[in-house]
């Protein structure tokens, strides 16, 4: 018996669910780090984090969440605003 997988990159229901779970988990991680550090998160920042679907960007935000002084600083790199859409 052979097993054929159309995952990843095929847009299957399984892949879509997996990626949605990954982004949801990343968002929870970012928000959790900020919460533990006592950094307030505005509704607009929370919305931007939870609506992002770019895992690479979310990985960068997770790294930055460990050192930023304000939640809004997640979206800046080298002092420049991260203007790319999420």
pLDDT tens per residue across span 14-46: 766 766 777 788 999 999 999 999 999 999 999
Is the entire prediction scored with pTM above 0.95? no
Residue 48 lies in a domain: yes
Interatomic CA distance for residues 59 and 23, integer angstroms:
10
Interatomic CA distance for residues 31 and 42, integer angstroms:
11
Residue 60 lies in a domain: yes
Residue 52 lies in a domain: yes
Domains identified in the chain, total number: 1
Q: H-type helices in 1-86, by residue range?
A: 13-36, 43-51, 55-65
Residue 35 lies in a domain: no
Residue 59 lies in a domain: yes
User: Could you tell me the residue range of the domain that residue 56 belongs to?
Assistant: 41-75
Which residues have a Cβ under 8 Å from the Cβ of 59 and sit 6 or more positions away?
26
Residue 17 lies in a domain: no
Phi-psi region of 75 (alpha: psi -120 to 50; beta: other; left: phi over 0): alpha
Residue 84 lies in a domain: no
Residue 19 lies in a domain: no
Give me the pLDDT at residue 85, please.
Answer: 44
């Amino acid at each position: 018996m052979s097993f054929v997988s159309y995952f990843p990159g095929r847009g299957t229901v399984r892949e879509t669910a997996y990626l949605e779970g990954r982004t949801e988990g990343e968002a929870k991680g970012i928000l959790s780090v900020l919460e533990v550090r006592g950094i307030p998160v505005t509704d607009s920042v929370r919305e931007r984090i939870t609506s992002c679907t770019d895992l690479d960007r979310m990985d960068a935000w997770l790294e930055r969440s460990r050192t930023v002084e304000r939640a809004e600083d997640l979206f800046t790199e080298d002092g420049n605003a991260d203007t790319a859409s999420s």
